[in-house]
Structures are given as C-alpha cells and as structure tokens.
A = this chain, B = another copy of it.
Amino acid sequence: MEKTYFLGIDGGGSKCKARLEDADGNFLGEYVSGPANPMRDYELAMTSLKDVIAGVFATANLNIDNAANTHAVMGLAGLNIPCCLTKMSQWQHPFATLQLTTDLHIACVGAHERTSGAIVIIGTGSSGLVCEEGRQLEYGGHGFSLGDKGSGAWFGAESIRYALETIDKLQPSSRFTVKLIESLDCQSAQNIVEVFAQASPAQFAQYAPLLFDYADLKDPVAVKIVKEGSLYINQLCQQLLQKKPQGLSLIGGLSDKVAPWLTPEIQAQITPALNSPEVGAVLIARQQQALEKNNQHSHLNSQQKTGTPIPDNK
C-alpha cells in the first residue's frame, strides 16, 4: 500500500516554509523558499510555492510523485481576500487533497495546538485572528498600501518617509536617520525615491531591525516610530483579548522586537506559541484527513476538499 504524507506550508510576504511528515507523525524534512503572498504578486507566489514543494520532497529524499499521496494545507498571507482565494483555488495542484487557508489560521492552530485561541502576526505584514468554536474573526491584514501598521514593511517604509523629511529639513534628524540614509546607499532624496518608490514590502521590512536597534538606544526618532507602530499592535491585542480567547500568541519575525513595547497588561497575557505555523498547517491536514476517514466510515460524502471557509466578519 502507498505511503501517505502530510505537508504544511506557511507563506508570507518575505518567504514561505514547508514541512513534510509521514502518516505516523515523523518529521521528514523542511524547506524555505521566496515570498508567497498571492494577493501581492500571484506569479511570484506560485513560483515560490512550486519551489518549496519540490525542495521539501527533495530534502526528504522522496520523489515529487509522492505529492499524489500527500494531504497538503497551505496558509498564505493574502488569502483573506476573496478574489485571491478564488484565483488560488483554480490551481491544478498535484496533491491528494489541498486545503487553502490564511497564514493567520495555520499560525493560530500551530501556536495553541487546538482550533481555539488568538494570534497576532508581526512579520512583513501585520494582522490578528481569534478562532472560537469554528468561527474565525480577523483583524487588520489590509496589506502594505492600506494598513499593516506595526509590521516590518510599515516600520521600514515609515523610517524612510521620515528620513526623506529630515533631508528636506521638515523634521529633525537623529543618529538613526543618519545611519538609515547611509544604509540606503543613495546619493540624494531623489535617488532614494528612484530606488524605493516601487520597492516591495519585503524590501522595506529589511530596515525594521535597524529601527529597533536604535529605539533600544533611545534614539528619539526611532522611539517615536516604534511607539506608533506598537500602539497599533497593542490595540489589535486588546481587541482580540476582548473575545476572551484561550491564549494569545505573537508570531512572525518581528514579534520579539515589538513585544517589549506593548503595555505590561498585554505582555502579561501573551503566551509563547507551542509550534510554528507550518506545524499548524500539518495539524490541520491531519485533522481534516481524520474527519474525512470518519465520514467515509459513516458512508457520508467524502469528496476531495479544496477550499476553506472565509473568516466571518466581525
């Protein structure tokens, strides 16, 4: 009999990560590839996803043909947007089953090892989710141009915007803005605009760590920007906690940097994530498969499932 595999993929604005397990829960391999936010750039996301799938099977020394006996769950940034989910759902994927959901959903299941709880992602983008009794309430996640405040992209872009205002002498400069302008490696304000006007969220997010380094050194400009973004994340956490979730975790590359800037009340209620988002995706794949088997035994409909409910509105 053919072996069955479980694949979890976590995709965001800067990278995607895949994890492969066998039916007994043994870890077989993991792999990292490029950005996979199909709302932002569908072609790039598909390239990254195909790359990460090929990579994780290769790492596990398995032929890619085994995708046909693999149950996959992909949690991607941007899949909260209906048109984006619709487009992704049309993909002629190679898997036995594929469930598409949001990066928030898999992160929440991974963090709490169950389907209830709350999570805030602070990576290239920012967003929050409460899962309760099968219902998902989503906050933020409006993307780089319309929101994602307190995210890596927002912190980076806000820093560059501020730096441009210091060049115009409309804002006081600081050690941080001087250092930032140096690191941008541009000759003038016009040159910064040339280089960064069309920059991706991931490119802006690269400057967030420098901002936090200077905020830790009490640089007034860095502190101002960090406080503004952190205030938004704090409000997001408050909103989630009002729903009384079974635990709130912060996830994403910037969560450790932002956490110390939240109010003590919020910090006290944050619990560490038990698992990473891609582990959460594998958990969902296993749960779904267990459910399908159960349904088969009950002679119920056992058709291949390729979609996931959209989170409810609040």
Contacts from A to B (Cβ < 8 Å): 39, 80-84, 139-140, 142-143, 145-147, 157, 160-161, 164-165, 167-170, 188-194, 196-199, 232, 235-236, 239, 310, 313-314
A81-B194, A188-B313 in contact; A147/B164 too (CB < 8 A)? Answer: yes
Q: Is the CB of B164 within 8 A of A82?
A: no
Partner of A82, one of B145, B160, B194: B194
Q: Is the CB of B160 within 8 A of A146?
A: yes
Docked pose: A191 CA to B161 CA in angstroms:
28
Partner of A39, one of B170, B196, B197: B197
Docked pose: A2 CA to B146 CA in angstroms:
54
Docked pose: A188 CA to B189 CA in angstroms:
38
Number of copies: 2
List, in ascending order, chain B residues with CB within 8 A of A314's CB: 167-169
In this complex, what residue of B is CB-closest to A197?
Answer: B143
List, in ascending order, chain B residues with CB within 8 A of A83's CB: 194
List, in ascending order, chain B residues with CB within 8 A of A192's CB: 142, 146
Most chain-B Cβ atoms within 10 A of its Cβ — which of A145, A194, A313? A145
Q: List 29 A-B contacts (CB under 8 A).
A: A39-B197, A80-B190, A81-B190, A81-B193, A81-B197, A82-B190, A82-B194, A83-B194, A84-B194, A139-B170, A140-B170, A142-B189, A143-B193, A143-B197, A145-B145, A145-B197, A146-B157, A146-B192, A146-B193, A146-B196, A146-B197, A147-B165, A147-B193, A168-B314, A169-B314, A170-B232, A170-B235, A170-B236, A189-B313
